[in-house]
Structure 1
């Protein structure tokens, strides 16, 4: 299923969708956030033809071909039913990451999420125990200033990832684990355990490396991964048809407000590079997987 063009007024969208149905092109309508309507083409093989019809419609919207009297009377009913079914289906597939995740069985549906939380708790507790300081130092990205990656270049490649498991205190740990459970859990349920594992590993390597090059080696925490998950779920909820993600405005506001407070220095000692790079990378992946980028490029080439 692919989005056709940009949002348009409801009346125009309904009239053009009736024309498409009359041409044998199944489509569905979806309201956007600005009182306009998007048209989605169900069979991607029909997208090129639908785009040509759309250009004709935009050039001459009052052409007799697009008038209701020239279309079969049953088409309007078909489109209306399709929209209703789409909305019901969409509501059934959505998961509100703020609370619905807590109603699910975590051990079976979210094993990677539970492992991430477990490793974070163990590593953070161990780092505070007497006699285990040497162990916790092995989890830092590096023990040396500069951008030469000394330990990693000598084979300690786990350091690319392991700083995410260390946290600076109970509140730091609880804050990050709450978001990992909600955002990471939702991703694992809908995208699969392998996807979440690869997502976490790749994002960890990238945000940790960026933070190391920007500020030095002594950083800890999973906030970069959390912001990548936020960016991914946020973009997917806005640009993927029937997205299973639903981020409430309060969730997004809290996370973005926290990011801004950290950036301006109200909350000191924070790995801001991780936050910003994570949010950017997660959003970029969301744009790719929602096919927003490929659709935009296709439309740009045709203009």
Structure 2
């Protein structure tokens, strides 16, 4: 069976299942740790079912789902999505896996430490080699830890939203291994490139974000049945933002080396993984 995605509760999922049944698509529900997982049994149905799933996520109260429940399912089905606040939390958690959430929590706690007066000791502990006195190559963690530091609200919000959206999708659809590989490689090699280009004073998850963008892009083109594609408009936005980074248009200090390095890592891993049979 091929996984379509996850929904916060069984009642919401049943409405989509009933609709797909009316379209001749067999879709089954499986209980997950957070919410429920929807799977189709036939590979030839996946593309159409995936489009309907994405439409349902955006428009869960569309009348056609209620009508489908009357026609194809239990007429007592009620589209009860729970309390709005609880639904939002559930959707947030079900949209990401453990690794995605751990990285988000780590970045958030580090950023809060910066805000509440611990900027100097945090920077001294996590910055790249040479950014502070007495830091040297024996402190191997410094190759990676700058990726966890953010220096503004816009910086961390931008990065974590993309990390949650794409990293969570990769982890939920393909498992933790591809995401962990991207995190480890794109959280280190692009930092080395950024250091060579601009020196040791940098930070942020942007390199990893561009890696998951590149990876999702390639997998969406080469292996669309995996269900982690990215709309062309989103790709265009990220590439435009990459180009703007080489200008002074926004007056920001942007780690262009990390962005380019991360994108290359993601594209390379995407090509490698897309050629695997499973």
- TM-score bucket of the superposed structures, by smaller chain: 0.5 to 0.7
Shift of 1:137: 1.8
Shift of 1:241: 4.9
Matches for 1:268-287 after TM superposition, within 5 Å: 268-287=252-271
TM-score normalised by the chain length of structure 2: 0.65
Structure 2 contact 95–172 (Cα < 8 Å) conserved? no
Secondary structure of 2:226's partner?
A: coil
Query: Deviation per CA, 1:14-55, whole angstroms, max 9, x where unpaired?
Result: xxxxxxxxxxxxxxxxxxxxxxxxxxxxxxxxxxxxxxxxxx
TM-score normalised by the chain length of structure 1: 0.60
Query: Deviation per CA, 1:100-158, whole angstroms, max 9, x where unpaired?
Result: 7x87462695111111110001111112332551232211112449xxx973422x111
Judging changes above 3 Å, is the alpha-carbon distance between structure 1 residues 142 and 129 closer, same or farther for their aligned structure 2 residues?
Answer: farther
Shift of 1:160: 1.0
Structure 1 contact 223–275 (Cα < 8 Å) conserved? yes
Judging changes above 3 Å, is the alpha-carbon distance between structure 1 residues 161 and 264 closer, same or farther for their aligned structure 2 residues?
Answer: same
Aligned to 1:134: 121
- Give the total of aligned pairs: 202
Distance 2:134 2:158 in 1: 32
Aligned to 2:46: 89
Distance 1:207 1:150 in 2: 23
Aligned to 1:214: 197
Distance 2:117 2:173 in 1: 41
Secondary structure of 2:160's partner?
A: helix
Mark the runs of 5 or more structure 2 residues left unpaired by the alignment. Answer: 1-41, 59-87
What is the root-mean-square deviation of aligned Cα atoms in Å? 2.8
Distance 2:99 2:193 in 1: 24
Judging changes above 3 Å, is the alpha-carbon distance between structure 1 residues 107 and 129 closer, same or farther for their aligned structure 2 residues?
Answer: same
Distance 1:109 1:221 in 2: 20
Judging changes above 3 Å, is the alpha-carbon distance between structure 1 residues 150 and 276 closer, same or farther for their aligned structure 2 residues?
Answer: farther
Aligned to 1:251: 234
Which of 259, 279, 288 in structure 1 is aligned with 2:272? 288
Aligned to 1:68: none
Structure 2 contact 216–228 (Cα < 8 Å) conserved? yes
Aligned to 1:119: 106
Structure of larger gyration radius:
1
Query: Deviation per CA, 1:50-94, whole angstroms, max 9, x where unpaired?
Result: xxxxxxxxxxxxxxxxxxxxxxxxxxxxxxxxxxx6542234357
**Pairing 1:200–2:183 present:** yes
Shift of 1:212: 1.0
Judging changes above 3 Å, is the alpha-carbon distance between structure 1 residues 177 and 287 closer, same or farther for their aligned structure 2 residues?
Answer: same
Secondary structure of 1:221's partner?
A: coil
